[in-house]
Amino acid sequence: MSVIVYSTPTCPYCNQLKEYLSEKKVKYENIDVSTDQDKAQEMIKKSGQMGVPVIDANGEILVGFDKKKVAELLKIED
């Protein structure tokens, strides 16, 4: 499964999401949208949102960090 996390370094929910994914041994690509405007536009186009974090898991988009929804999306056993 391909997992992309669009985030910023100052976002506490982004950091919680990345910690959770690391704990669960989920490999993901982190994209810092505060330094890459092209990727920020890509995120907005995919999600319709400007807020972070945004998760793209094989084309399925989830905005924000809701542990239960992330676990369902990524099929993580808690």
> Quick one: what percent of the chain has pLDDT higher than 90?
95
Looking at residue 77, its pLDDT comes to 83
Distances 14 to 1, 6, 44, 54, 67 between C-alpha atoms, Å: 20, 8, 16, 8, 12
pLDDT bucket at 18, cuts 50 / 70 / 90: very high
Domain 3-63: state its class: alpha beta
Q: At residue 48, does pLDDT exceed 80?
A: yes
Q: Which residues contact 76 (CB under 8 A, 6 or more apart)?
A: 24, 26, 70
Cα–Cα distance measured from residue 3 to residue 20, given in angstroms and rounded to the nearest whole number:
13
Looking at residue 78, its pLDDT comes to 67
Average pLDDT over residues 51-59: 97
Q: At residue 52, does pLDDT exceed 70?
A: yes
Q: What is the mean pLDDT of the chain?
A: 96
